Amino acid sequence: MELQNAKRIFDDAIRNKYGVGAFNFVNLETLKSILESAEENKSPVIVQCSTGAIKYAGVDTLVAMCKSYAEKMTVPVCLNLDHGATFEDCKKCIDAGFTNVMIDASHLPYEENIEVTKRVVEYAHSKGVTVEAEIGVLAGVEDEVSATEDQAKYTDPKQAYEFVKATGVDSLAIAIGTSHGTVKFKGEAKLRFDILEEVEKLLPFFPIVLHGASSIPQDMVKLAEEYGATLSGSCGIPEEMLREACSHNVCKVNVDSDLRLSFTAGIRKSLAENPSNVDMRKYNLEGMKLIKQVVKHKMDNVFGSSNRVM
């Protein structure tokens, strides 16, 4: 199957009230693990790269890997640019073969965000590519994206409505209390479902995206720490909150930190238990097994996307 843009995936998800995982990858091992799990669980899937991942591996290499795997699959696969900061970032990925791009101009003044986003939408749509944008600012640090708690701000639902109508975007990331990184909260987790519900009323049947939505599974934290990792204070979004979000119009749920954590835990364990091993394929496999385990759990028990493709 060829790589898909997000429209078909989101249309089914919003109609049937489930979420689709958007999983970040940086190399063959993470990509292969995500896609194998999607195929085995009969789930649509979005795989995505940040600009940092593109600098690390090269845009053409990442696209070629995705196309090579996707053409052998029976479930829809969308390749997304995560947090493109400029029109040029997005154009580069569209021209290379990405099928969805996110333009994140949320740090700019509102009118400039509209202007940049409209330009990306016009170019992307002319190439059959769908576009995600963002209103509001998430706290936390992940790859090349960062904001302090003081800089973070919730999405204004009326502004979100106006933004979608002004730009023609295909999906919108909103800020309701999720956060980038492995330490998402100080104290009790709280998501502003009142904001989500108001956006849903103003934009019925419109795809909403949650960034910074890793749950930071504590079994993976414990395993990584057992073999030397320092992850003090790591905590994520409670899974019951993510399930509730997916029962609304949240069609795309971003997951990055959970995969980094599980892959690292597997490799640490393998190297500690097999100190003479210098075959990276063997220790990478241990990390890949844990990524697949985490992705399957998300699809089965959190997003509800398993067995949606028959």
Catalytic site residues?
82
Measured distance CA(85)–CA(60) in Å, rounded: 19
Q: How far is CA 51 from CA 26, 84, 87, 206, 228, in A?
A: 10, 7, 13, 26, 29
With contact defined as beta carbons under 8 Å apart, do 254 and 210 qualify?
yes
CB of 22 closer than 8 Å to CB of 253? yes
DSSP the chain: -----HHHHHHHHHHHT--EEEEE-SSHHHHHHHHHHHHHTT--EEEEEEHHHHHHH-HHHHHHHHHHHHTT-SS-EEEEEEEE-SHHHHHHHHHHT-SEEEE--TTS-HHHHHHHHHHHHHHHHHTT-EEEEEESB-EEEETTEEE-TTT-B---HHHHHHHHHHH--SEEEE-SS-EESSB--SSS----HHHHHHHHHHSTT--EEESS-----HHHHHHHHHTT---TT-B---HHHHHHHHTTTEEEEEE-HHHHHHHHHHHHHHHHH-TT---HHHHHHHHHHHHHHHHHHIIIIII--TT---
